Structures are given as structure tokens and as C-alpha cells.
Amino acid sequence: MENRKKAIESPLSMQLWSVEESTMMVTLQHKTKKGKERIKRDGADKWFVRKTRQRVAFSPEKGPWLLIDNGNSASMRWVHATRDRDFVVEECVL
């Protein structure tokens, strides 16, 4: 954790770090039916940010992309920090 790299400061005023484990948490609000079903299925309102990337293999959209989970690795997913199609991502105040 000593060599943290500052990745980007998004319009959400979040400091995103390129590290395996992060203490940053976000909340998700659904935009679509798929997002609503995902939140209902996983039953979490707070998500841990595990990784950040500027590029991901499944999308041509530039980041910041966040790899998040709710404490269960089976619930892991990538979301775009500012332009996700299924969720509104907001920084969670701890």
C-alpha cells in the first residue's frame, strides 16, 4: 500500500487509487431494470472499491472503471465511475 498511484480525480470529487485493496466505498443507485435487479439480488447498499482502471477489455469507453464488491467476491462487478449505463455511482462517506 506504500506505492499508491493517483489515477484520477473524477467529477464526483473522488480520489481513485490503483491498488488491490482500497478503503474507498461507493453506493449504487439503479438507472435500469438490470441495475435494480442486481442491487436486489446482491442486497448491498455499500460497495468496496477493489481496483481502478482507465481501460477494461469489454468496453472501448475510457475510465475511470471501478472493480467493486460488497464483501462477497461472487458479487464483484466493474462499473464506470461517472458514465455507467446501469448505475449511478456515488462516493460513500465513512
Give DSSP secondary structure letters for 25-81: EEEEEESSHHHHHHHHHH--SEEEEEEEES-BTTB-S-S-EEEEESS-GGG-EEEET
Q: Which of the pair, 2 or 68, is modelled with greater confidence?
A: 68
Q: Does the pLDDT of residue 14 top 90, yes or no? A: no
For residue 51, what is its C-alpha cell?
481496483
For residue 79, what is its C-alpha cell?
462499473
What pLDDT is stored for residue 26 in this prediction?
93
> Residue ranges of the domains in the chain?
6-91
What pLDDT is stored for residue 11 in this prediction?
40
Q: Does the pLDDT of residue 89 top 60, yes or no? A: yes
Residue range 76-81: average pLDDT?
94
pTM listed for this prediction: 0.71
Share of the chain above pLDDT 70, in %: 76
